[in-house]
Amino acid sequence: MSGGNVKLESLTKRFGDVVAVDDISVEIQPGEFFSLLGPSGCGKTTTLRMVAGFEPPTDGTILLDGVDVGNWGPNRRNVNTVFQSYALFPFLTVAENVAFGMKYKSVPKPEMKTRVAEALELVQLSGYENRRPNQLSGGQQQRVALARALVLRPSVLLLDEPLGALDAKLRRTLQVELGVLQKQVGITFLYVTHDQEEALTMSDRMAVMNHGRIVQLGTPEEVYNEPADAYVADFLGVSNLMDAQVERAGDGTSPCRLRLGDFILDAEAGQLDATGAVKLAIRPERIHVNPYETGGANRVPGMVERLVFLGSTTHVYVRLATGAALQTLVRNDGGELPYSQGTPVSVALPADALRVLPDPGVSVAEIRDETAGDQLLDLTGTSTS
């Protein structure tokens, strides 16, 4: 079956007093790899389960290819799920697992066999037909779960943090493989994860969720480079959030002038017409750390607090004279770094990389707590301005 358009309109789910999903609306295009990203408890899994049919929505509609399936059971919808725990039936072989759903589609026996073989080939597990799930590794089990869902040719495939139980290296390999697989098969993938790296790697578009709402919707580049607020900025990678005051708001032509502690900086990204207290964000790869005497615009003196060797890169933790703690990184390209722990330096925050974000009224530390997850190592603790 073709199609694969998923439309959620004002979808809400309440569990007693708790609002798990709060009035979300989004349209997913056929063939899109769409991710729902957010920390635990943000409502992403509940949303997925509603699309799958395991939870009835409290309010709103779920349209699959234009059909309102809100009240349909999971077995009627042309949607299949890959569970976090894979849920492979331990008493069946791999082939029997994959063939499980075909019985309900009245697929004739010979065709079943060929389709099972096709599905296993698709996930690169040909020849594993007679193995049992407990004889497979985690990654292999996950692929069987994929095959079992894909063999039924659903219009949408739902994936509930499928890579969560795997170790880091395997996870990265499978992220790429899943992306390739999706393009190969051409089905809409609705992917739920709390790992921003996964979402950035695989998605065509993604929705960042928090407290049951969609906070930002866009492509990975848009969400990473142009986060709508401090929360999204900090959730997707390191944001180096700082508190600042607007001196002069920007208009169409001039940048926003801000006061960061004792220093004046210009910012050319984000909400330039903001006034009053704002948050500033800058990605670590855009920061430059230079010798103390270096001059130029948008520079703040600081001190290198710690260097962490991470193999291909070194993370540099600097503390600005204003008290703010920033992270940046340098590639280890064979040369020696011109500074070490304790060296006074001059930190450049290029205006076009410096992003003004509305102040949500909470401290940087509190935002960090909310988005806590797979961040880069933060060894400087919670000490910020």
* Binding-site ranges for other proteins (CB under 8 A): 15, 46, 49, 52-56, 73-75, 79-81, 83, 85, 87, 89-93, 100-101, 103-105, 132-134, 148-149, 152
Angstrom distance (rounded) from CA 17 to CA 252: 45
- φ/ψ of residue 307, rounded to 5: -120, 130
First-residue to last-residue Cα distance in the chain: 56
Nearest CB to other proteins, comparing residues 73 and 291 = 73
CB atoms within 10 A of CB 311: 6
132: three-class secondary structure by DSSP: coil
Q: Are 84 and 160 in contact (CB under 8 A)?
A: yes
Nearest CB to other proteins, comparing residues 145 and 256 = 145
Nearest distance in Å: CB 106, other proteins: 10
Q: Are 47 and 210 in contact (CB under 8 A)?
A: no
Nearest CB to other proteins, comparing residues 89 and 292 = 89
Nearest CB to other proteins, comparing residues 96 and 359 = 96
Nearest distance in Å: CB 192, other proteins: 14
Nearest distance in Å: CB 157, other proteins: 11
In this structure, what DSSP letter does residue 375 have?
Answer: P
Q: Are 50 and 69 in contact (CB under 8 A)?
A: no
Nearest CB to other proteins, comparing residues 103 and 169 = 103
Cα angle 171-173-175, degrees, rounded to a multiple of 5: 65
Beta bridge partners of 344: 303
Q: Are 82 and 163 in contact (CB under 8 A)?
A: no
Nearest CB to other proteins, comparing residues 157 and 354 = 157
DSSP secondary structure string for all residues of 192-257: EES-HHHHHHH-SEEEEEETTEEEEEE-HHHHHHS-SSHHHHHHSS----EEEEEEE---SSSPEE
Nearest CB to other proteins, comparing residues 152 and 187 = 152
Nearest distance in Å: CB 95, other proteins: 13
DSSP secondary structure string for all residues of 2-25: ----EEEEEEEEEETTEEEEEEEE
Q: Are 32 and 188 in contact (CB under 8 A)?
A: yes
Nearest distance in Å: CB 265, other proteins: 40
Nearest distance in Å: CB 371, other proteins: 23
Q: Are 37 and 202 in contact (CB under 8 A)?
A: no
Angstrom distance (rounded) from CA 246 to CA 359: 11
DSSP secondary structure string for all residues of 82-142: E-TT----TTS-HHHHHHGGGGGGT--HHHHHHHHHHHHHHTT-TT-TT--GGGS-HHHHH
Nearest distance in Å: CB 80, other proteins: 6
Nearest CB to other proteins, comparing residues 191 and 224 = 191
Nearest CB to other proteins, comparing residues 194 and 299 = 194
Nearest distance in Å: CB 251, other proteins: 49
Nearest CB to other proteins, comparing residues 46 and 328 = 46
Q: Pairing mode, if any, of strands 256-260 and 205-210?
A: unpaired
Helix (H) or strand (E) run with residue 371 in it: helix 364-371
